[in-house]
Amino acid sequence: MPSSSISCLLLAILVNSARTLLAGPLQPPVPKQVEHVSIWHGEKVNDPYFWLREKTNPAVSAYLEAENAYTAAMTKELQPFSDVLYKEMLGRIKQTDLSVPTRDGGYYYYSRTEEGKQYPIHCRRKMSSTGTYDEKAAEVVLLDQNKMAQGLPFLSLGAMEVSDDDRQLLYTTDTTGFRQYNLFLKDLTSGKVVGPLAERVTSVNWAADNRHAFFATEDAVTKRSDKIWRLDLQGGKPELIFEETDELFGTSVGRTKDRRFLQVVSYSTDTWETRLLPASEPKGVFMTFLPREKGHKYTVDHRAGLFYVRTNKGAKNFRLVTAPAAAPDPSHWVELIPHRPDVLLEGVELFQDFLVAVEKREGLDRFRVHDFKKGGWRDTTFPETVYSAFPMGTPEFTSTTFRLNYQSMVTPSSVYEMDMTTGKQTLLKQTEVLGGFDRNNYATERLWATARDGVKVPLSIVYRKGLKRDGSAPLYLYAYGSYGLGTPPTFSSSRFSLLDRGMAFAIAHIRGGNELGEVWHDDGMLMKKLNTFTDFIDSAEFLIKEKWTAKDRLVIEGGSAGGLLMGAVTNLRPDLFKAVHAAVPFVDVMNTMMDPSLPLTVGEYLEWGNPNEKPAFGYMRAYSPYDNIDRKAYPAILVTTSFNDSQVMYWEPAKYVAKLRATKTDPNPLLLKCKMEPAGHGGASGRYDRLKDTAFEYAWLLSQVGITK
């Protein structure tokens, strides 16, 4: 763009920003339109807001600051309400708290928080002589994120890996929000920290000799995790030992549960491959377990000389087989868990004497325990009809207990320890909710909406008892629906600020996730992606028909790929929603997917489609939110993003708002809030900062249905 245009635009934006701050929002900021023509399959496409991608251009920053000033002015009257919500939500949190200690090696590890401090403090205590947690043992602070974050507006802790001898800690940190992690080494005896040892580290693990580390790094431009390195921590430079050259694949390093083998995993959306190296032989060569085969997804673990393979070969929802180390090919497999079309085998956790199968059926989590000595299986049961349950990680391979987390939308996060011999579950801790919370005041249900093609779509809903089912209640509908990532119905203490004001909250478990198995993902990706959007619309219409709410009382939210969902359904049915919050939304689908130089693009072809192929191009363009903005009325819309987001670049939501503002015909609010300070795809890193953001978003959505106190 010519420099004269930049200067004029900069002046205009700054003047408008000043007017906004001093005299109120007379007009929203409008960026200059600049011709930018792309040729897509022989078609010339002009994108007048393409210049907003110029991150170092001062006119871009000025425009975003003007948008922030406009949003601040437009929501100024909401600040007292936002402050009330923040105080209310903070009042439910036990600010000084302690996690449940977990044994790993000769220590028990835990984290704790202190009132007024943004970040957790990671600690350990040496176990007692009987192997139990000893409160009297001296506390050793591994990492105090509050001290690490001093002088920094953002700090994210990535990996934390303790050496086998318990004496050293490898960890990674990001201080920009761009998910760009540096690797450090801490001596846990002296406290000395060395590093950074490497940049752009995405995963890390130890060899058994307590001397060599293996780590993965990402490409500087595309952010694809593509290289594996070996590092002698007693001297020497990192040595490249593996490079994943296929742009559709990423790679990571890990270790089997029994710690016998290091693993290098290459993964794409539809194909996985594992390489193994004995952890006691760090200078050896990783050997391929099973060569990659298009469409074959498998994971590997090891126990007592056998490999345990979770595989989708001949098993859409996965099955579990064992394979001898000498001959791991399918002709030597012995099936342990068969495939079941109605049950998704999400994972397995191996122990010396037990195996825990992590499964999902009809959108609900469950565990089954196998006793290797006695044989047979034991099912776990949970008390509610709508809930979430997750393995929490039980590091000790010899453990006879299994740590799990249970919660629902009315039951706070609860840590249980299950005796794998008897099945008995012992509650170790339930997160304390302050402020007079009483779960008996609320109810949660599983609903089923019928999609237009007859498919039943599960919904999870929570509300305060006494809610009138006459269409008068406001309702907050959330969904994601991509990458095979289901949305669990979990507990949120902040959410009760909505429920106590008469608003119901629902999750639509639409196609694109994995709630009903791998087919649920398949039917919401590639050339079936439209199912994700129509499922959401049909779920909304179901809630209206059943008088849970009404069109003018329905607010919706989604983030990232869920932000794409928000943009698509708002284009398709703008009449159906009162207000929309699109967080870090993936809305400029075509410009992003047609540019292979952008972070993460090429690897996404297997999820969304390769737009260089004309059929995929036409299908994607038909739903891309930015490309389908039309001259019509839209609901009230709040768009939030971060200038340093690495997953969905800030310019996608910025361009979307600019084009929408220039095109829509209604007077409804359209606001963009962009964090200009270091922040990431998940927003701020500090817990109090994140809570303030939530309070603002809740205040805005509640105000759109007339609730302002």
Q: Residue 653 is inside which H or E element, if any?
A: helix 651-663
From residue 663, give the alpha-carbon distance in Å to each of 393, 574, 601, 630, 666: 50, 14, 28, 6, 9
Both structure tokens of 670: 């359209």
Catalytic residue among 226, 681, 693, 703: 681
Catalytic residue among 163, 560, 646, 685: 560
Q: Edge to edge, what strands does the sheet with 182-187 contain?
A: 156-162, 168-174, 182-187, 193-198
Catalytic residue among 538, 645, 685, 693: 645
- 645 is annotated as an active-site residue: yes
The C-alpha atoms of residue 91 and residue 676 are separated, in whole angstroms, by: 29
From residue 289, give the alpha-carbon distance in Å to each of 227, 272, 313, 327, 394: 19, 11, 15, 10, 25
In whole angstroms, how large is the CA radius of gyration of the chain? 26
Q: Residue 74 is inside which H or E element, if any?
A: helix 58-74
- 7 is annotated as an active-site residue: no
Both structure tokens of 304: 């007592």
Q: Edge to edge, what strands does the sheet with 364-371 contain?
A: 344-350, 354-361, 364-371, 377-379
HEC readout, 589-642: HHHHHCCCCCCCCHHHHHHHCCCCCHHHHHHHHHHCCHHHCCCCCCCEEEEEEE
Count of C-beta atoms within a 10 Å radius of residue 131: 11
Find how far residue 258's CA is from the centre of its chain: 28
Q: Look-up: residue for tokens 């139990």?
A: 132
- 560 is annotated as an active-site residue: yes
The answer to whether 228 and 264 are in contact (CB under 8 A) is: yes
List strand residue ranges (DSSP E) for 114-269, in order: 121-126, 140-144, 156-162, 168-174, 182-187, 193-198, 201-206, 212-218, 225-232, 239-243, 250-255, 261-267
The answer to whether 566 and 582 are in contact (CB under 8 A) is: yes
Do β-strands 344-350 and 298-303 pair in parallel, antiparallel, or remain unpaired? unpaired
- Kindly report the backbone phi and psi dihedral angles of residue 607, in degrees, each rounded to the nearest multiple of 5, phi listed first: -95, -45
Strand partners, 431: none
Q: Annotated catalytic sites, by residue?
A: 560, 645, 681
